[in-house]
């Protein structure tokens, strides 16, 4: 079964001037110079290094992954002098298998770059592109026979609930590399009581007299647990919470939730704080949510990029209606098309199961007047078509 080890503590950071200091994660080097409203904050490449001991695992039957929840904007990861992975895009989870590179004592190096380029969005906007490893880093030990770990940083699990009269129909899809294994699926209610059970990598289960996820008034959450079983023993397990709801948008009547008009009153939220930048802790996320709830908001636009998974979880728990989006913003970069699409895939694959999300946003300020306005509009139109393909791909293929 999977185990996780947090690696946030005791890193060595080498900054812009070449001097080294000890830091814990989350961390950004723009916490101060990125807060004054100007565009003169330092952008470039800095280095994070960490020593850690070999985790406990059986190399005959288990693998070890390095998982990063957010590094802005590009990362080159090395372990014991060997390249592990490169990732472009500062707001999504990415991971890589390091089993063959591990030693008894390990030296991890992450070169982080938020410098100016024409490939990775965003490059131009009225918010700061904080450089750093500003979310969690973890080691994940997992069985060699496992659910998918390698598809755009996603969970290997997709849950699609639908309302069917008084009941709920829940399609649960998962992907694994063990074709002879058995897949067990269990649905439980908010109190942990089993409400449905089935078998298979693609199974639809029925919840009698389903309790709807109903916005801020009643954000009821079920849980799907999926186990990979070989020879009667569970070798891997994944799961997520989900909500059963319907929604639609009418150009004249507005937003509808579960068949009723649901007026939206909300805020747009960036992930930063004075003196901290984007290196937020769970306590900061919780305080932001408390402030949003205090003013009576029921919807949040999470601008202008993928936010921390913990904040999406809070949105699910408190019944927020969420607009999630990617940072294709302010300018069109022809060399950035591949990155635009990969960020969209990561956003949808990693967040598909959140009941709070009702909108996948493609861009910000699309009417802004720039010299490349036509190119940007053409790209947005193409992205609209591409995003439909991405959602269908996520629904059908994982």
Q: Kindly list the catalytic residues.
A: 365
Cβ-based neighbours of 338, under 8 Å, separated by 6 or more: 119
Distance between CA atoms of residues 74 and 58, nearest Å: 32
Angle, in degrees to the nearest 10, between helices 309-318 and 282-294: 30
Residue 173 contacts residue 156 (beta carbons within 8 Å): no
| DSSP H or E segment with residue 142 | strand 137-143
User: Which phi and psi angles does 350 have, rounded to 5°?
Assistant: -80, -20
End-to-end alpha carbon distance in the chain: 22
Question: Three-class SS of residue 121?
Answer: coil
Helix (H, G, I), strand (E, B) or coil at 201: coil
- Record the tokens describing residue 153, joined without a space: 């940083």
C-alpha span between 196 and 238 (Å, rounded): 17
**224-241 burial: b if 16+ Cβ within 10 Å, else e:** bbbbbbeeeeebbbbbbb
Helix (H) or strand (E) holding 197: strand 194-199
CA distances from 243 to 7, 73, 352, 369 (A): 32, 32, 12, 40
Are 27 and 134 contacting, i.e. CB atoms less than 8 angstroms apart? yes
Read off the DSSP letter of residue 144: S
* Strand-pair category, 182-188 with 194-199: antiparallel
């Amino acid at each position: 079964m999977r185990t996780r080890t947090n690696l946030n503590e005791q890193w060595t950071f080498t900054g812009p001037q070449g001097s080294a200091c000890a830091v814990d994660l989350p961390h950004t080097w723009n916490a101060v110079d990125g807060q004054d409203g100007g565009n003169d904050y330092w952008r470039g490449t800095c280095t994070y290094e960490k020593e850690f001991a070999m985790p406990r695992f059986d190399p005959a039957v288990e693998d070890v992954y390095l998982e990063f929840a957010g590094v802005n904007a590009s990362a080159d990861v090395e372990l014991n002098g060997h390249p592990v992975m490169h990732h472009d895009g500062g707001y999504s989870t990415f991971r890589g298998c390091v089993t063959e590179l591990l030693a008894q004592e390990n030296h991890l190096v992450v070169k982080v770059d938020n410098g100016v380029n024409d490939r990775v969005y965003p490059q131009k906007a009225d918010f700061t592109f904080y450089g750093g490893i500003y979310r969690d880093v973890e080691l994940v030990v997992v069985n060699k026979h496992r659910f998918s770990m390698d598809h755009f940083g996603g969970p290997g699990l997709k849950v699609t609930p639908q309302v069917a009269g008084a009941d709920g129909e829940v399609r649960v899809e998962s992907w694994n590399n063990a074709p002879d294994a058995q897949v067990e699926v269990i649905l439980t209610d908010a109190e942990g009581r089993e409400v449905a059970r089935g078998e298979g990598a693609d199974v639809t289960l029925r919840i009698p007299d389903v309790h709807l996820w109903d916005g801020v008034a009643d954000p009821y959450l079920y849980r799907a647990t999926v186990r990979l079983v070989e020879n009667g023993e569970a070798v891997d397990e994944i799961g997520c919470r989900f909500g059963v709801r319907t929604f639609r948008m009418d150009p004249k009547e507005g937003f509808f939730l579960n068949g009723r008009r649901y007026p939206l009153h909300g805020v747009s939220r960036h992930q930063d704080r004075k003196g901290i930048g984007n290196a937020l802790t769970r306590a900061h996320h919780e305080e932001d949510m408390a402030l949003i709830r205090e003013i009576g908001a029921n919807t949040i636009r999470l601008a202008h990029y993928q936010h921390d998974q913990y904040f999406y979880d809070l949105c699910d728990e408190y019944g927020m209606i969420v607009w999630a989006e990617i940072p294709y913003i302010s300018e069109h970069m022809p060399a950035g098309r591949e990155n635009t699409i990969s960020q969209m895939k990561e956003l949808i694959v990693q967040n598909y199961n959140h009941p709070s999300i009702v909108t996948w946003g493609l861009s910000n300020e699309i009417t802004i007047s720039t010299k490349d306005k036509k190119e940007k509009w053409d790209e947005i139109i193409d992205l609209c078509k591409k995003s439909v393909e991405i959602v269908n791909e996520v629904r059908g293929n994982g």
